[in-house]
Amino acid sequence: MRAGGEKVLVDVTQRFGDLVVLDRLRFSIAANEFVCVLGKSGCGKTTVANLLAGLLPCSEGAVTIDGVSADPRRHELAFVFQEPSLWPWRTVRDNIRIGLEIKRVPAPELERRVADMIELVGLRGFETYYPYQISGGMKQRVAIARAFAVDADLILMDEPFAALDEQTRHGMQAEVLRIWERKKTTVVFVTHNLEEAIYLAERIIVLTEKPTRIKASLDVELPRPRDYAHPGFIALRKRLGELMGSAW
Ligand SMILES: Nc1ncnc2c1ncn2[C@@H]1O[C@H](COP(=O)(O)OP(=O)(O)O)[C@@H](O)[C@H]1O
Ligand SMILES: [Mg+2]
């Protein structure tokens, strides 16, 4: 774990009726850490993201951020979902402004941050386009820019690139890392994609199937930018494949 202390603590059991989805799931995340939560479809990744966001009450236990129960009114939480949730009546620039407007960031500072993020995600020239005029990858760039524009306590990314073609996905992964390296925000990135987790994470938390516990927590110490053909990458992929089970 990186220096900076524990930022987020998760210790929850989550049930929906009789279904135990998370079974005393416990982990912590350090400030500015980039953690991937890896698990098969249906194991409860989105549930974990919703609990971290304070959008879902814990059936048992708690999620705390800086020692306080996760609460969207007290913490600055930013999301990027699989379907980019842009406001269709707002331009690229005005979508990126949303979080800053909510925070009432003063105009000059707001304009500076928006311009900075537009530059960082490579959307210069597209500021006045509307969501319907841009591709899926560009929409996700807008969502990413919006998330990183505010100084969030925690950025939650729930399979944000699952709907993109492979090449676009690789480009977006590299971009997210570039921005995270500049901004150093705490990121929890949920995915079912082994390579994506290895490429991105400082640490991978591998989940079991329901009732879901932690199968393993692995530090990824491969040099960046990571190379899919690196022997260490291939070895880790094999190890994760084994951890996830034969049906993977
Ligand atoms: N609000 C809900 N009510 C009932 N069951 C739910 C609810 N949300 C999720 N589930 C169930 O919890 C399990 C985990 O769902 P989810 O967190 O979406 O998994 P993942 O994101 O890993 O695919 C699934 O079996 C799903 O059907
Ligand atoms: Mg999900």
- Structural domains in the chain? 1-75+154-248 (3.40.50.300), 86-152 (no CATH)
Pairing verdict, β 154-158 and 187-191: parallel
Q: What is the pTM of this model?
A: 0.94
> What's the mean per-residue pLDDT of the chain?
93
Q: Is residue 4 very low, low, confident or very high in pLDDT (cuts 50, 70, 90)?
A: low
pLDDT digits (tens, 9 = 90+) for 103-114: 899 999 999 999
Give CA–CA dist 158/177, Å, rounded.
16
pLDDT digits (tens, 9 = 90+) for 88-127: 999 999 999 999 999 899 999 999 999 999 999 999 999 9
Torsions phi, psi for 48 (to 5 deg) = -60, -45
Indicate whether 59 pLDDT > 80.
Answer: yes
Pairing verdict, β 6-16 and 60-65: antiparallel
The pLDDT, as a whole number, for residue 245 is 83
Ligand 1 contact, 16 CB (< 6 A):
yes
pLDDT digits (tens, 9 = 90+) for 199-239: 999 999 999 999 999 999 999 999 999 999 999 999 999 99
Ligand 1 contact, 191 CB (< 6 A):
no
**Closest ligand by atom to 43 CA:** 1
What mean pLDDT is predicted for residues 17-44? 97
Alpha helices, DSSP H, located in 35-165? 45-52, 92-96, 98-102, 107-120, 136-149
Q: Whose alpha carbon is nearest atom 5 of ligand 1?
A: 16
CA of 208 to the centre of ligand 1 (A): 14
Question: Taking every pair of C-alpha atoms in the chain, what is the biggest distance, in angstroms?
Answer: 55
- The two three-digit tokens of residue 15, written as one number: 């049930």
- The two three-digit tokens of residue 25, written as one number: 């799931």
Ligand 1 contact, 57 CB (< 6 A):
no
